[in-house]
Amino acid sequence: MPIVHHRRPSPVSYLIWLAARTFLKPILALAPIKPYVFKLNAAMEGRLEKRKAGRSVVIEPITLGGRPTELVMAKGPTGASTDTAVLYLHGGAFMSCGPGTHRPITTSLAKGLHVPVFALDYRQIPEAGVGTSVHDALEAYRELLGERGYRHVVVAGDSAGGYLTGKVAELAAANGLPAPTALAMLSPLLDLDLGDRTQDRTSKHDAYLPMRQMTVLAPMFDWGPVPFAGERSIGNVEPAVFPPTIVITAQDEMVEPDSLEFVQKLDAAHRRAVLHSYPWQVHAFTVPLRHREGRESVGLVVDFLAEAIADAHAQGDDRRHEAS
């Protein structure tokens, strides 16, 4: 079955969920999306980026696809292939967060997979709309496959970054680029027009995401300077373009119904896909990794991606053997 429902949430999960529902959701529901909010976000992100990296990883600032990027690598010999990398696309509703806020997940992927992880600082609102964010993600992917010489690139992201992850797969196919080796989508937003779907979608049971703010953000998604390309809903993309895909969601979160439909559609098309749904979790709970479900879900992601990478290498070896 492509859908795995996990049971028996940890006691910490209840506390996190209730705290988010009691304090965070009312704030987010009423918070104005104004210039001073963007400045506060930028200040927070700048402070987080100044944190020292953990002892087990090295973080190097680089430029990828014309954008600032954090290259995260595990310290010491890894024995892993040098032709594989991960492109990580952070979440934040296309208006907040950056590589610094998402180091818990990028460092975990680097250590778990023993490959370099490139955390892209793509352009966001108010600087640019989603079309530009998509462009930046695709150009970073193109460079990894091109001048940086990686033969296998995994693409991963959470929330808004999960949307960009799906767009990279779609537009790679449209632009004649090799498909990603695998995708990891953590509480992904899959439909830019979710805020208009009040007849069949709700955030009533979500720990902290308010659907009403999607309607406020929606007009900003279409800001330039790069025009939006392709489908606005990842669910409308042809299943054939998707490589092996793992999705992690919080049960009953606002974005889960679209994820369930997406994975079922991939499965029906005989694409390898699995979704793990965890009860009593908050949106993108895999990213902080501080409690049992966070650690467990990132372990599932690492295992899935490691298997997809091994399969890709094996297929490459078989093709080379046949050619010889």
Give pLDDT tens digits for 54-74: 778 999 999 999 999 999 999
pLDDT of residue 276 exceeding 70:
yes
Would you say 93 and 168 are in contact if contact means Cβ atoms under 8 Å apart? no
Cα(171)–Cα(94) distance, rounded to whole angstroms?
19
Asked if 184 and 304 touch (Cβ cutoff 8 Å), the reply is: yes
Q: Domain map of the chain by residue range?
A: 3-323
Q: Can you state the angle between helices 292-323 and 11-19, rounded to 10 degrees?
A: 100
Pick the CATH number of 3-323 from 1.10.3370.10, 3.40.50.1820, 3.30.1010.10, 3.20.20.70: 3.40.50.1820
For 42-65, b/e burial (b = at least 16 CB within 10 A) is eeebeeebeeeeeeebbbeeeebb
What average pLDDT does the structure give for the chain? 91
Range name among 181-190, 191-200, 251-260 with the lowest pLDDT average: 191-200
Q: What is the pLDDT of residue 76?
A: 75
The mean pLDDT value for 64-92 works out to 89
DSSP state of 116: -
Average confidence (pLDDT) over 84-112: 95
Q: Percent of the chain, pLDDT > 70?
A: 92
d(CA 90, CA 94): 9
pLDDT for the residue numbered 323: 47
Output the pLDDT for position 324.
43
Please provide the distance, in angstroms rounded to a whole number, between the alpha carbons at the two ends of the chain. Answer: 39
User: ∠ CA 229-230-235 to the nearest 5 degrees?
Assistant: 140
Answer yes or no: are the C-beta atoms of 133 and 94 closer than 8 Å: yes
Q: What is the structure's pLDDT at 28? A: 85
Q: With DSSP H G I counted as helix, E B as strand and the rest as coil, what are the percentages for the chain, rounded to 5? A: 45, 15, 40
Q: Tens digit of pLDDT for each residue in 196-214?
A: 888 888 999 999 898 888 8
Helix segments in the chain, DSSP class H: 11-19, 25-30, 35-49, 103-113, 130-145, 160-174, 212-221, 256-268, 292-323
Q: What is the DSSP letter of 181?
A: S
CA distance 189 to 166: 10
Q: Which residue has the tokens 């694409």?
A: 271
Burial of 310 (0-12, 13-18, 19+ CB in 10 A): exposed
pLDDT for 321 equals 46
User: Residue 135: is it exposed, middle or buried by C-beta count within 10 angstroms (0-12/13-18/19+)?
Assistant: buried
